[in-house]
Amino acid sequence: MQGRFHLYEGYSAVQIAFPIRVMKQLGVKTLFESNAAGGINPLFEKGDLVIIVDHINLTGNNPLVGENDERFGERFPDMSSPYTPELIKLAEDIATEEKIKLKKGVLVGVLGPNLETKAEYRFLKLIGADMVCMSTVTEVIAAVHLGLNVFGVSVITDMCLPDALVPVSLEEIIKVANSAEPKLTKLFKSIIMRYNP
């Protein structure tokens, strides 16, 4: 896909999940997710690639609400390991070989579209988040429901440290994301070449 739908644009969680469900029907077995995220972990830096190892859904939405379609998955899908451990390990191995700097972290998904307050960043850090974004989580819930393998990477585009918070512009975020794109593309291509679910 080129781009995605967001809850803050007014789409429902079911609408956001629709492309993922279409992918499944087309025979897709593995979903690769990427996003621009704010870094909450003080060990992160702008431009870092961070493997998503888990997530926290604070969007207030879930694509599985409503009648369950058994063709897609069971009513109560297990979310103990939403991001496929084998893919995470493979990515780490490739990163070592290719000298791509990778970190790992927990992503929190929020509704948006505003960026968070200092108090909200403190809260997100307190509950275990390393980075924050306004996408990805809804799609991953749908993918897990469908039985897809999932691999996700956040590009840290700005730092969200409450005691050193400075205003950030969309132009800055896009610039950092674009600068990280070649490394991300190289990583994804290498994983796709070597992963056989």
Torsion of CA 183, 188, 193, 196, to 10 degrees: 150
Q: What is the pLDDT of residue 159?
A: 95
Nearest to 110 by CA among 91, 85, 133: 133
CATH dotted code for 29-194: 3.40.50.1580
pLDDT digits (tens, 9 = 90+) for 75-133: 999 999 999 999 999 999 999 999 999 999 999 999 999 999 999 999 999 999 999 99
At 1 the pLDDT is 85
The pLDDT value recorded for residue 169 is 86
Distance CA 184, CA 172 (A): 18
Q: Which of 102, 97, 113 is nearest to 34 (CA)?
A: 102
What is the domain partition of the chain in residue ranges? 29-194
The predicted pLDDT at position 121 comes to 97
- Quote the pLDDT of residue 2: 83
Q: Which residues of the chain have pLDDT under 70?
A: none
Helix 170-194 to helix 85-98 angle, to the nearest 10 degrees? 100
Give the residue from 46, 87, 70, 111 showing the smallest Cα distance to 190.
Answer: 87
